[in-house]
Chains A and B, each alone.
Chain A
Amino acid sequence: MILRYIILFLLALTSAFTEVYVSQDILNNVAKKYNKFAENRFVNMEHKLEGLKDKTTIIKLNTVNTFFNEVSYKSDMENYNISDYWATPWEFLARDAGDCEDYVIAKYFALKYLGIDPKQMYFTYVKSTQFKEAHMVLTYFETPTSEPLVLDNNNHFVLPASKRVDLTPVYNFNGDVLSASAKKANQKTTQKWDELILNIKKGKI
């Protein structure tokens, strides 16, 4: 208990001087809306991400992948009572549940916070031959032509794509890349992506 308060104090102190992933407001709101466990998960995530800032990309990828894979899988219908919904990282972690898109989103924004160039990451629509269903993973590209590393909620290891024979790639999507192109014409990106960005900005939990 004492340790928790110390961490919270240190977090608050550091947040006053450095940019944090989770703002104090979000933390307060999570505590209010959900429970102490949820708040702890956020504190824990912030602590973990702070510790990764100076680490190598591969450590960042592995740690983030492992951390978020701890969250339980739950379909959008069960979770939000709608067939398809892209949850913000805060909703995902606060509820401690989500579907494959929610893992991808949480990992993407965490890695982006840790300094990974968004252009190197893609939301990849894949077909899972194991589960015989549509699935989404986060892929990381060292270079545009290099073999990507796959961050999958069904697999705790970050593996090269060639090792993931159980997955068939269908389509790559990167909202930030599209946004950069759309911004020039003052246009939107895609409905899902725009809605997600808006919810993140609003701090939707």
Chain B
Amino acid sequence: MSEEFKVEIVNPEKSFLVKDDVTEVVVPAFEGEMGILKDHISIISFLKPGIIKILSRSGNENYYVEDGIVEFKNNNLSILTSTIVNLADMDKSKQQILLKEAEEEANKTDISDQSKYLADQKVEVLKTLN
């Protein structure tokens, strides 16, 4: 029980995942990937498109997220996100759909630099999944 902490992922529709035997979580924070271990300092940050890696006693899991907020406090990690997909459930066709959407968004010319950057990120991450 020493090195474990609790992680909770919620999206607007429901509580997506709750796990309390997690040893490490790697989140794609806005300024680079961030690994979180037990007794990390309280932190709030937000996510860019990427992969959340959850390492736990009961196995490792990977999730694809497009945006979100992480809050870590008292060994409770909360991840709030509006789009999340378990990589285990991600098949080729689903990935292609997401990739196509992201590419369309990235090719728009009338968007701000920041949303353009985020869209590019999405494309990049989705491509590496292949």
Q: Do A and B bind each other?
A: no
Interface residues of B (CB under 8 A from A): none
